[in-house]
Amino acid sequence: MGETAVFWLRVSLGLYSLGLAHALLTVIRQRQKLFRLALAAFSVAAVFHLVSLVEEGLARGRFPVANLHQSASLIGFLITALFLSLYWKYKYESLAVFLFPLVFVFTLVASLGHPVEAWRSPALRSWWLYVHVALALLGYAALIVTFVAAVMYLIQERELKSKRPRAFYYRLPPLGALDDLAYKTMAAGFALVTLALIAGSVWAFVEWGTRWVVDGKIALAFVTWAVYLLMIFTRWTIGWRGRKAAYFAIVGFACAALSWLAGRGAHSVLLP
């Protein structure tokens, strides 16, 4: 990717980060925050993103989809353009919770397709890894609580429907409290895992160069993140609660567990 195209792409990434911040705050606080600022930033970012794509196409003399990073950039821009079109016509603010993080991640992947020599120092590599592991541990801890709350919800619901609940049923928290606990811990876990994914992506880029994105462990981490993003979106827009949300939380935790186990090799420099 040409130097000018990379510059404008990273400017776009910085502006898209305001959309990510809006989405995370919305998920955690369960109400829209910073939407007008994030929307303005997204609109400006879309212009810079388009400039990056045009610059890259002109520099290469072809349509800029020759590799995974260029394809990610194009997909991120198309999602942005689609969201802005839908918003200006239908005012679908709720879509921002799902699409803002998605655009940020696609653009992040695209922006890490070009070397940054200043990031190559051993100290900086270690710093990114420590931050990634710390955030991932906190995020997975929250998601474990989500998983436990989801399992307890299903047990509680089953006992309630049996008409003759066993003694331990009366020791379980109410269904509403379990559902609320599952959402709050999932929201916190999602925010922490998102930040861990960003730090881990930067570390992998510094450590392995541009080939980091095709690593199976990292691909699984992105899939896990996408599953939780979908869970958040369905809860926020469709109102999925109760049993559906509990089953979804269990599936998400299974993906998170696989992602963590797959990444043990990379984390082994810090963990036994």
Task: Give the pLDDT confidence of 184-216 residue by residue, as tens digits.
Answer: 999 999 999 999 999 988 888 877 766 676 677
pTM of the model: 0.85
**Residue where a domain stops, chosen among 98, 114, 130:** 114
254 and 231 in one domain? yes
Q: Which residue has the higher pLDDT, 168 or 160?
A: 160
Q: Which long-range contacts (CB under 8 A, 24 or more apart) does 131-135 make?
A: 131/199, 132/196, 132/199, 132/200, 132/203, 133/196, 133/267, 133/270, 133/271, 135/192, 135/193, 135/195, 135/196, 135/199
Q: How many domains does the chain have?
A: 2
**Taking the C-alpha atoms of 177, 181, 187 and 192 in order, what is their torsion angle to the nearest 10 degrees?**
170
217-236 per-position pLDDT tens digit:
788 888 889 999 998 888 88
Q: Which of 152-161, 175-184, 245-254 has the lowest mean pLDDT?
A: 152-161
132 and 262 both lie in a single domain: yes
Q: Where is the domain boundary, 114, 141, 166?
A: 114
Of residues 171 and 16, the one with the higher pLDDT is 16
Based on the fold, state whether residues 146 and 267 are members of the same structural domain. Answer: yes
Q: Domain ends where: 57, 85, 114? A: 114
Band of the pLDDT at 79, cuts 50, 70, 90? very high
Do both 260 and 126 map to the same domain? Answer: yes
Domain with 63 in it: 1-114
Which of 234 and 165 is assigned the larger pLDDT? 234
